[in-house]
Structure 1
Amino acid sequence: MRKKKKRISHLLTSGVKMLIVDLLHCLKKHLMKSDDSIAFMRTLIQMLCDIPEEAEDGELDPSSPLRFTDSSLRKIYSSGFNKKISNAILSNLSSANFIDAINEGWNDDVLENLCNDLKEYDREITKDNLGKRLFSLLKNCLLESADTRTESEKKLVSARNNSEKAKKNFGESLLIDCNFKCSIENCGHSLITILSDGESSAKYEIITLSKKRSLQYKDLLCVCNDCFQRYTLHCSPEERQKLLTLKQAQMNRRTAMLILDDASLHKNISKLLSKLSEMTELKETQLNYDPVSVSKKLDGTAPFVFVELVKTYVRYYFATIDSIMKDLARQNLYNDNLIRAQIREAFLSLEEKGIPPQTIFDNMVGWIQNLTKQNEQYCILVVAYFIQSCEVFHVITE
């Protein structure tokens, strides 16, 4: 059975003991080649602590045999930090001391190899931030073992762990459900942040409406950070019930948007494409018929919301529209080459004017709707199809 990876989001859970043992063994493998686990533990404690010279090797020094015996450290290496040693280390903890020890004590190859193994615990760790992120990783383990946090802090940590897990499995869908705005009533804070380089990023948390251990889509809502903290610490049963009603409304809207009646979909898409086939002006243009993912067609200049919505339309409808087009072509009701060429020509004429991607998309939807007099929803699906099949936008070169 393949070993399940432990991410940093799992850090402060009931598996902390197992995590710290794996982490200690990983560090020893890279930082100390000998089998002396006791010497390793004393070295690691010295790296983590800032001990005054007069207290070194004495009873106030957590790395000293006078404070913790060899058998105690051997047990900790095998079973994880206990409350006593965690409190002793935390009272002398020094991030500067640890970061300096990491940066100055080992060569680049050792640090690079250590980073590669530690990505199992923190996927954002690099050689440049190794000392800082490894210190944070160890500190959180010590805090959990020492159990020094308040109940509120524990609630928030647990809620953030669940939020990270939910993002991985449901994040994209939940953001679309709430239209990229905080789900809490009377908040509506945007969950999209524009970065300094002009790119957009989703900044949000996910709250759980049920107390069940398993995370289910029907119990999850996207919110901003402020509402996440308030909900986690001060949510009343009445508010939770209101949010469950809101969640049902979001799910109903999603169903209306994504699950169209098959007969209606075929009828309306067929009508739209047949109308497009009535166009007679065909200009020579080079076409690429190899479907490429939307992510490779829209770079960081395209708004996050726009990219995610187009990807959703493609995921749900590309195969259906492709099938309809082939059926119409077989019946001689649809000229595939003509349509693709016209769509491509329309895109190129807009691109030449320096229009941004979302505006090009909106213009093409309006253009098709004006030509065919069909419902805008079906025009959107058709333009999304042509983005995926390469008539609209170019493949981004690496």
Structure 2
Amino acid sequence: MTREENVRFCDLVKSLRPLTGKGLSAGEQVAEVVSMLTKVPENRIGTAVDPAQASQETLRKMSSSDGSFTKKLANAIYECMDLGQFISQIDGAEPMTKQRIVDNLTEYGIKVNLNELGERCAKIALTVISRKAGQKMSPESVAARIAYARGIANNKDALLMQCAGLCTECGSSLITDKHGDGIPVYEILPIDSDVSSYGFDDFVVMCPTCAAKYKHHPRKSDIDRVRSEKKAVSKQRDFEGLLTPLNLEKELVQLLDDIRELGFEDTSHQQIQMRNPVPIRDKVSEDGELCREITDSVSSYYPFIAARMKMLEETHRLSFNELLSQMHAKYLKYEGQGLSQAEIFDQLSDWIADRTHSRSRTASILVSYFVQICEVFRAPAQ
């Protein structure tokens, strides 16, 4: 047996405590690790094959022994594993947190370099869960799965920037308003799964419908066509100046990482009400140029920002509700001063830029995101 095969799932959960948080109960820590490892399709949420449906008693027992880790639950996790997401969350942890995880793994006989922590934890998880699920995986297939996950972790942000919120295949929006939340719905797929390593040019972003048609044994003609479509999108984005992986993308990542520096005020007296998104043109009616700027920012960066915020909240580096409350409070303050929509937008952008030491242009993209989800500007009463 390899060292990874000797490690139990409960050992991995304990090793990850510096990341999941010591304030959680034993069962909650198991649930947190399962959440980090999975991305449950919408049609499985709340069903018997949703890993989140495991009872608290089962999760509590799993924190100390793998005896309660059933084959059924292992298969539910295995079927919706997102190891790229898992690696990204570990990559995003503070250096001190990662070092403590390394130290914890050492206690179980796993010696890990800090720069390979994400992959090694993913390998442990995949090895344990596939074995529990009765899924036979050769060392080569495990290595291929981890290489694919690392490729996703390294390139997800840039891929979401490149697609600009649209499916590469059919051009439809990757943002759904089904539940009134403006949720990004997409899949990142390998263009050709028969490669040994995955870089930016080896992935494509599609809507769930196109992804379902493409991902099961695409023909060579399909692979060639999708590569051509990706190249065309790449050229278009470069021409429009929307894809700047070495500049604006990094600035957005840094801004979102620094968003805690806004200097939160006490807004506990406010009630957060998630508002159903309405078209931007219905909310930004005073200034056509501002409406176009916000629309362009939302169409280009919404999925990227939403995915990044989700990752930050899952790694306990951001409270989304607290940020919502702060943005809405600032908006109401400026609106109460009688400022125009353009003035409010600029004030909010400057406020974020000043507190996070970022450019106003970068901050304005985040403000546009909050316009989209209706925390900034409101549609006129009907």
TM-score, structure 1 normalization? 0.34
TM-score, structure 2 normalization? 0.35
Please tell me whether Structure 1 or Structure 2 has the larger radius of gyration of its CA atoms.
1
